[in-house]
Amino acid sequence: MTFPDQEKSQEKDQDKFVALVSAKTEVTLPLSHFQPRSTLVTAKHPIERPRFPVIDYHNHLDSVDPAETLRIMDACGIERIVNITMKTGEDALRMIEKFRAANPHRFSTIGWLDWTGVDQPGFVAKTCAALEQLVERGVVGIKLWKDLGLTIRDARGEILRIDDERLAPLFEKAAELGIPVMFHTADPDAFFLPIDETNERYEELAAHPNWSFHGSKYSKSELLDQRDRVIARHPKTTFVGAHVAESSENLARATRLLETFPNVYVDISARASELGRQPYSARDFFLRFPDRILFGTDLLPEENMYRLYYRFLETADEYFEYPSHASRQGRWNIYGLHLPDDVLRKVYRENALRLLPH
């Protein structure tokens, strides 16, 4: 039993405590300095080498030393890396030769579509001829980046649509040459939203406002619809949707894409962050499409980066940081997918082999 005087005394003590705590915690902390550390105690299963040899189908190696990259590959069980060169013209040919000279069995190259002269007559015919030359020099695919549909303009000054029928010969030429077309269409959903207090990637966009496509002529959904119309028109062409076909936040859309078009693969590059925060849905996605998913990182080769990817795919570890602070894409951690061996074997290597020349 508590007496009235005791109650008043307890209330005063509580008020003093609250005032003291408030005085100590009234600190202005910039959001960029807030780096919380999880207090969860969970099992950790670091993986030095993958269960099966790996082909990294999506990386950008133009700036790296091939010899050092080979050392990292050997340390991490990487059989081959596909370099998506961002060079064009003679520079692209030199880049192809740079990695061929280093080791033709460990490196392959996907070319970058050169939009120079897109507003001039004969652009498509010239580009088809250039594509033939690239394939003759060993290119194993061609990539179309997000500038198509967002920034590239035609002779009239209009944004060039992804599904512009004038581009159709490019996709037919790819089918003729037997190489896949990789689409990086649009960007994460957050990049198309206002940079405000509701945007889950506010810090990233506030630091890089030029990454925002909010207010673009076409919404992200419209851009993906345009891409899908191209895929529908060219059933003989093989397509690769980079970054889970830019649908990692909406796996239902990625599922519809793969269900509808048998000529499409997706890679998981730079999307462990999104897939790993929805481990149940992501695991179901891998189990449903084990023959259509490609391993890729889109991060410069580094031992810890690769080993975190292996941990993500192979273990059931909970709530751990994804590849690195430098590539963090939001204030969340990820969960392992604990994929079975038959799926890992396909995702790590076998699916990529079907797209690479033998």
Per-residue confidence (pLDDT) for residue 8, from 0 to 100: 61
One pLDDT digit (tens) per residue for the chain, 358 residues: 555 566 566 666 666 655 555 555 567 888 778 888 889 999 999 999 999 999 999 999 999 999 999 999 999 999 999 999 999 999 999 999 999 999 999 999 999 999 999 999 999 999 999 999 999 999 999 999 999 999 999 999 999 999 999 999 999 999 999 999 999 999 999 999 999 999 999 988 998 999 999 999 999 999 999 999 999 999 999 999 999 999 999 999 999 999 999 999 999 999 999 999 999 999 999 999 999 999 999 999 999 999 999 999 999 999 998 875 555 678 899 999 999 999 999 999 999 999 999 7
Domains in the chain: boundaries = 52-355
Q: Which residue has the tokens 């007559």?
A: 121
User: What pLDDT is attached to residue 37?
Assistant: 85
* Phi, psi of 349, deg, nearest 5: -145, -50
User: In the CATH scheme, what architecture does the domain 52-355 have?
Assistant: Alpha-Beta Barrel (3.20)
Q: Label each residue of the chain as H, E or C.
A: CCCHHHHHHHHHHHHHHHHHHHHHHCCCCCHHHCCCCCCCCCCCCCCCCCCCCEEEEEECCCCCCHHHHHHHHHHHCEEEEEEECCCCHHHHHHHHHHHHHHCCCCEEEEEECCCCCCCCCCHHHHHHHHHHHHHHCCEEEEEECCCCCCCCECCCCCECCCCCHHHHHHHHHHHHHCCCEEECCCCCHHHHCCCCCCCCCHHHHHHCHHHCCCCCCCCHHHHHHHHHHHHHHCCCCCEEEHHHHHCCCCHHHHHHHHHHCCCEEEECCCCHHHHCCCHHHHHHHHHHCCCCEECCCCCCCCHHHHHHHHHHHHCCCCCECCCCHHHCCCCCCECCCCCCHHHHHHHHHHHHHHHCCC
| Residue type at 182 in one-letter notation | M
Question: What pLDDT is stored for residue 23 in this prediction?
Answer: 56
CA distance linking residue 2 with residue 13, whole number of Å: 15
Beta bridge partners of 107: 81
pLDDT of residue 6: 60
- CB-CB neighbours of 32 under 10 Å: 9
Two structure tokens written together for 154: 């035609």
- Cα(70)–Cα(166) distance, integer angstroms: 41
Around Cβ 129, how many Cβ atoms within 10 Å? 12
Which tokens sit at 196? 């405000």
Residue 330: per-residue pLDDT: 82
Q: How far apart are CA 343 and CA 348, in angstroms?
A: 8
**Phi and psi angles of residue 291, each rounded to the nearest 5 degrees, phi first:** -90, 0
What is the rounded (10 degree) CA torsion for 350, 354, 355, 358?
Answer: 110
Rounded Cα distance between 205 and 214, Å, is: 11
Query: Which residue in 139, 140, 142, 138 sits closest to 127, CA to CA?
Result: 142
**Paired tokens of 32:** 């960029």
Dihedral (CA of 295, 298, 303, 304) sign: negative
pLDDT on residue 322: 86
User: Partners of 153 in the beta sheet?
Assistant: 159
